[in-house]
Chains A and B, each alone.
Chain A
Amino acid sequence: MHIPDGYLGPITYGSLWAAVIPIWIYASKKIKKILKASQVPLLALSAAFSFVIMMFNVPLPGGTTGHATGATLIAILIGPWPAVIALSITLIVQALIFGDGGITAIGANCFNMGFGGVLVGYGIYKLISGSKFKVQSLKFKNSDTETHRSSLSTRHLIGAGIGAYAGINLAAFLTAVELGIQPLLHSGTDGRSLYSPFPLSITIPAIMLEHIFLFGIVEAVLTVSVLLYIKKSHPELIRG
């Protein structure tokens, strides 16, 4: 899902840069308002988690590979706007240092995975779970540990799983559409595309089928598993 340089023409990558910059500004303002200094390490660890989890390429036997993103999980833990920032930091480091995703496509990749995937995943999670649990700063840990009761209910877990599944599929869909419109937007005099050569009728089934049937499920299982791990290892992070 990391679009490389060259697959998107200037109209598409330019528009998505233009879309993502106000998103970053808005997310930064939100962070200023809601993120406590004590939660910054959790933001950093979330971004690192996302970076590392994307290294786990899941194979489609004989075909392509894909990976989870952790977008919905991170939004549930630190809130959607801090998650937008965490995912964006990860995606920018991946592009600059590891060539995973293009420089021109940073806007697109951050928009797809870091914004679309996060907001839709989190939105559906909230819709299904009904309420949300909060990430709490560790200052309360000592005084509250005994009385603490985790509110991570089955409903939360179901919401998290479905949200994660929907979030990654939306990110995949955005990617497929952006790639698929290239032949329409930029074709040379010989009728050949100047950028990504495949039409929507190829990109959408190719990208969506693998996410609907495999990578989406991987994302959902990962999200629920990590929430259960955190419930056990750091119950103070999950509170009602």
Chain B
Amino acid sequence: MKISNYKKLRIGIAILIILSPVGLILPELLKAGGAWGEWGADEIEKIAGYVPHGLKKLSELWKAPIPDYAFSGWDKGLKSYMGYIFSGIIGAALVIGVSMLIGKIFARKNGNS
């Protein structure tokens, strides 16, 4: 079981990662914000007029190492696009690593046929 078997699929995913800044650029061009219902506490205050107590508390529970697929200081323009691509590489690599591990644990051992 080698991941190299699915060459064209890997190339397809690599191309998607390189193109991923489109997912930042298009919303910027068309003046679209984030997803509905995924606002931070400060944004929710603007929309609802208050910050719900429980929401504020829980929202501070976890500090993600690469929040919003952006590296600190790399939050605008070309740097944000580079950061987005790096995030894509890191994320895809992690997801592949974890999947291979779980797959190895669970998949049929002698199941090549």
A residues contacting B by CB (< 8 A) are: 1-7, 9, 28, 31-53, 55-67, 85-86, 89-90, 93-100, 102-104, 137-139, 175, 179, 186, 188, 192-198, 203, 206-207, 210, 229-230, 233-234
Contact = CB atoms under 8 A, between A and B. Distances in A.
B95 A65 contact: no
A28 B106 CA distance: 7
Interface in B75-113: 84, 87-88, 90-92, 94-96, 98-100, 102-104, 106-113
Contacts of B90: 97
Given A39-B107, A62-B30, 16 more contacts: A6-B57, A43-B103, A45-B9, A45-B13, A52-B88, A58-B23, A58-B26, A62-B31, A85-B99, A89-B99, A97-B64, A98-B68, A195-B58, A198-B48, A206-B37, A234-B9
Interface string B1-22: 1110110111011001101101
Which bracket fits the contact residues of B?
35 or more
Interface in B31-48: 31-38, 41, 44, 48
Nearest to B113: A139
Nearest to B110: A37
